[in-house]
Amino acid sequence: MRHSKGLTVLAAILFIGGAVMTFAKGKETMKNKECYAGKWRGDKVVKTDAEWKKELTDEQYRILRGQDTERACTGLYWNNHEKGVYHCAGCGLELFVSGTKFDSGTGWPSFFGPIFPENVASKADHSYGMDRVEVLCPRCGGHLGHVFEDGPKPTGLRYCINSAAVVFVPDEKKK
């Protein structure tokens, strides 16, 4: 697998790795599950396959636990322009802030960096005859998408994330 030195170092850093709300099955909002705000502190969420199937929608389960991908331009957030924070749909960990989201033209939500480096993990992915870097939630191990080296400044990275792997929490409107 060929990586630039920068991505290899970043991948190594990313792999090392509030508010209370929750998700309701079938909902795209935070409700009934802990919303993990701030830097990941090393705790893990471990559940059985049956527990994940009960808590996640079929699409969330297929992507987060089955490492699948939604079709381009079909996800809830690929064209979202609201301000807020994207959390892991599996465990509530904060992953990306809207200020790092950009239109990559790929049909998936794309970000140039995570909210905190420790809030995403990565590993080599050689599936489908490709050499890629998979992006994972370090807290629950859920598959989020992939990271590529064709993003904008300041990082030059493009985190290509499945909408079903995240839940968007909009910023509260200030009066």
Active site residues: 160
Q: Where are the alpha helices (DSSP H) in the chain?
A: 5-15, 49-55, 58-64
Cβ-contact 144, 152 below 8 angstroms = no
The answer to whether 154 and 102 are in contact (CB under 8 A) is no
Return the H-helix or E-strand segment holding 148. strand 143-148
Given the DSSP bridges, would you call strands 94-97 and 132-136 parallel, antiparallel or unpaired?
A: unpaired
How far is Cα 44 from Cα 117, in angstroms, rounded to an integer?
17
Tell the burial category of 58 from Cβ atoms under 10 Å away from its Cβ (0-12, 13-18, 19+).
exposed
What is the Cα gyration radius of the chain? 15
| The pair of three-digit structure tokens given for residue 56, joined into one six-digit string | 């996640």
